Amino acid sequence: MAKFAEVAKTDELKSGTTKMVTAAGREILLTRIGEKYYATDNRCPHMKGDLSQGKLTGTVITCPRHGSQFDISNGQMIRWLKGGLVSKLAGALKRPSSLTVYAVKVEDGRVLVEV
């Protein structure tokens, strides 16, 4: 049965930033855009790149390892790998996939994620 776990205080993240948090043994990417918070897997499904180290542009996070892009608002894969021969070979080994998205709620200055 899923339950909500506190992962941060609202003042820990500024708008347009990300943070890796842990809940129920899972690495979760927590992102704040404006007053809205998003939570997804922190690891890229391709080769487990640390998405908290990636570049955030709007709601799109770019994996720092191979350039795959995901929309953090829904987990949808935007681009699988950046391109080039190495990326083509690596991409052939693993099928494109989306990120898991976790429900988020804010209560009394606390950010909670459903895990």
Domain annotation covers residue 31? yes
Alpha helices in the chain (DSSP H): 85-93
Of the candidates 35, 34, 18, the residue with the CA atom closest to the CA atom of residue 99:
18
Residue 32: inside a domain? yes
Is 110 contained in some domain?
A: no
- Per-residue pLDDT, 95: 73
How many domains would you assign to the chain?
1
pLDDT band at 87 (very low <50, low <70, confident <90, very high): low
114 class by beta-carbon count within 10 Å (0-12 exposed, 13-18 middle, 19+ buried): middle
Phi, psi of 61 (to 5 degrees): -105, 135
Tell me the whole-structure pTM to 2 decimals: 0.88
**pLDDT tens-digit readout, 49-82:** 999 999 999 999 999 998 999 999 999 999 987 6
Least confident residue range of 17-21, 44-48, 83-87: 83-87
The range of the structural domain enclosing residue 49 comes to 4-101
